Homo-oligomer: A and B are copies of this chain.
Amino acid sequence: MGEFELLARLRERLPPPGSRVRVGSGDDAAVTVPGGATATSIDALVEGVHFRRETATLLQIGRKALATALSDLAAMGAEPGEAYVAVGVPADLDEDGCLELIDGILAVATETGTTLAGGDVTRAPALTLAVTVVGHAARAERLIGRGGAQPGDALVLTGEIGGAAAGLLLLQRPELATSVPSEIAARLRLRQLDPLPRLAAGQALAGAGARAMIDLSDGLGGDARHLAEASAASIRIDAAALPLAPGVAEVAAAAGRDPLELAASGGEDYELLAALPPDRLAAASAAIEETRLTRIGEVFDGKGVEVRLPGGAILEPTGFDQLG
């Protein structure tokens, strides 16, 4: 099948475009009328680096590619708008495989109100996805960067963490699954394979007065450090307050790992970490419907990130600094 034919078949699957899109996929470029401000981010996923076809279905790979890209928009408090996807197709991926991958992308697009407004398909030595997402806000000031945290701000976290790292352990070492009920094991694996971007929570936090926000892709330790550095502030996290996903403690114990390590250094939870004035906490909690908000620490003058352990000891969490 040629490129044009595949693109034509892909376009047949597209739902109607969003209200800002005047010309969708199929021309030299998509035409949109954004109004207000836009947040734009690009992310690439490469087979063997970010996913394996042995442990993830093509539908899941497509879903995760768009979901993780949208997580960057969630971290800005943006409303999702358009996505543009370049797919590099290896020789062993046939037409049906391409369509399954695109169906995964389209499923997340539909669930989140995102228009797949453009794309490119090419050959490649390994399955590769590059996803650009564009989100919207009424004004630039309503989009929340990493750099606005101020001393005295409360540090809050959406949802639960450690689940994606525990899910990865379960995928790599299936024998660990006996440590938790099968329903919990399945949920942990999905945290790794099929993450959901916290789009509504991100907009709620932005509306409630969050001053700095980031999504947890590298891990709480590393991403807190990004937020602290961008804000020229220090962050102290109370380990006892961290909301671990159900089963993380058990899987960590079975693997001989510290659950705190999975929570603080494991990546890909795609929860949101935000700093906001303490008097905005109640409003922020009330505005978030789909998950809970947990206060996990504070912002101080100074530099760096500390995690205070229950006994009083201090851990210096490390992020994942390697390429990839």
Asked if A132 contacts B84 (CB within 8 A), the reply is yes
Judged by DSSP, the binding face of A is strand
The contact of A38 among B28, B32, B49, by CB within 8 Å, is: B32
Q: Which of A72, A119, A124, A213 has the most CB of B within 10 A?
A: A124
Known: A31-B143, A34-B34, A323-B2. A84 touches B40 (CB 8 A): yes
Tell me if B28 and A72 are in contact (CB < 8 A).
yes
Give the number of copies in the complex.
Answer: 2
Contact B119–A28 (Cβ < 8 Å): no
Asked if A6 contacts B323 (CB within 8 A), the reply is yes
Contact present for A40 and B128 (CB under 8 Å): no
Instruction: Count residues on chain A whose CB falls below 8 Å from chain B CBs.
Output: 72
From B42, B84, B118, B323, give the contact of A3 (CB < 8 A). Answer: B323
Q: By the criterion CB–CB under 8 Å, are B40 and A82 in contact?
A: yes
A319 to chain B, nearest CB (A): 8
Taking a contact as CB atoms closer than 8 A, the residue among B2, B27, B37, B39 that contacts A321 in the complex is B2
- List the 3 shortest-distance A-B pairs measured between CB atoms, nearest first: A130-B130, A2-B321, A44-B86
